[in-house]
Chains A and B, each alone.
Chain A
């Protein structure tokens, strides 16, 4: 079933539908409903937990909030869902402002961090709950419950008590319950964190499939960077109530704006250097070893003085070559399946990581050995120092 039909159904039956007011086209699906946060701040007990956050989540987008524990991800979701209201700033969905609306009037559904399934209802009862509250007819509810349970592949368990479900099944029920009323925005708060690795990977694929199929707008919270990279259209990196950078996974990985983002997504090496010259596209820097490098400007605009140069372990090559040349001694060697990973130290003690496919030359490296390294100039980035 297509999203258009889906939304029409909600427009017809739901008093909450906000995509079909009179001054809008009849086809609700043709109206883009971006979720827009403007300068949203929120403090708990005098402490700023969300600091002046502005962001736009586009209609149909899989948007991820990624950040360490306690950075305010859940709080931001709660502000969007309507469980808390921001002290300043505005939140709107399409043309509707959400600030004044209580959670029960927002066409936004949540999959909670611990699922929060209703223990007194069975699987079908849980999924039907939102539809009953929206006063759908009995037949429509039955039809929709079947449809959504089919989507999460739980049709066989519809009469089970939720206490008799496995973690993965509970997670699917929570997803089905939130999807059933066809919310404009679906909020997922670390929905996979309670699952073991294998199940987690399966659920990631499934969740992504469902999201694509429904073209569902999703805001997904996680602190697992791999999960974020593999599923998201865009990722916002959060730290201490702030969004540091918000872009596609590829852009975040290849063009991190600052040290925190670079280190949080994947592994990163950092060297300090001096800025010598700067034009519209390039910065010329002088490395500690005297070598100068011309680095394409990315997301960070360096200021004169000390700058931080970043490169990824997989871009480090063994042996001397064109690009930045370094000499380092091997400290540690570890096997990562088909890859080998080395910890090295430069002469001044700066740590450098190298990661590469295992090869004879790599295997031959011994702890303590001095080796030449090279990094192509185009793999160097200048990143900001995180405040």
Chain B
């Protein structure tokens, strides 16, 4: 069967573009909803007008990007439907009911957000009502992210092993096991915190730009102040992300080994133009840590609200030093040293930027905004690029998604019992390969291997920890050498 193709760009990169664009906007929108609510409540409780103003202007920005983001999401849906029809229709059948709720949430969000922004000035006599409306955006956004992360997690860790298709017996269009897959929780936590942090850094970056554009002392004070609050919120949420990331990668090691090793070793699409996107992302994370510690260490002098006491700054520094040392122990010391150097360099750069701007954080705000944007882009990219591709436009995580087994759902109403279980004639050797070789990567890795030195490969795999007796190793080696199917 032939497929649609986009000249020059290729289907893969079209999806990549829409996906990245979507991440950049959607993540910011979710974070902004949270930050606006915090600012509005804080302003109300302390009766400080400027924070309310900042909340309102943030919400205006949010309204704009929300619209852009949803339209982009529709673009993604269009592109996927045309370019990856089988994958897309399968995932829509598989997750039909969660996606219907997702769509309904889009409707609730668009309306609530619009009301919240455009009724701002009308409700000064009912401020609590207005705040409540804004706060409602948080559970709405959270639910939306919660559902879509079920799909996102599923594409990385489907929740069942190769060949073990989950023929759900309950409600058609909702598969509990696939939705609450192994990486679901980690993806959820990681994204929830990262969204807020990312939005905060971007807001601070926006304040930084405004600081460059105004000479008015009052306005500068205002942007310095608001930028600091945004930064503070961003940093607070940023802090736990690396820890969650560690547990996330642990889950991946067990449940999505190929993706895990692709990330660790920088294989496949993780490398873009020779640059390892995952390691680069980690440099940037360490750099954000270094810059932020310098910033909060500096502003403590002026004793302003939303600053961290020095002892806290040093404690965080110490904690992360230990964290990265632990990472060095479990991964490679190279990781520790490179991250350490990245943090130190960025701390020095930040010191210089603060100093050369007479302690105004404008340059630092912009720098952090840019870095956090890049971090989100690189992280989002690496995550999707690491997992096995949907080969030949048919969703195939090797055989997890067996199209033959799924297709009846797409055409006629069937009871699960009516679905024929595809029985393949397997040899003993093929069975052995299916049993022993999928713990760390998919079978595609073996099928795609072009060389002939199977003795070497099997030896290496045994060194990596594959459980094989000598006889079994011999059997498999001969079988693979003969080029027989499995």
A binds B: no
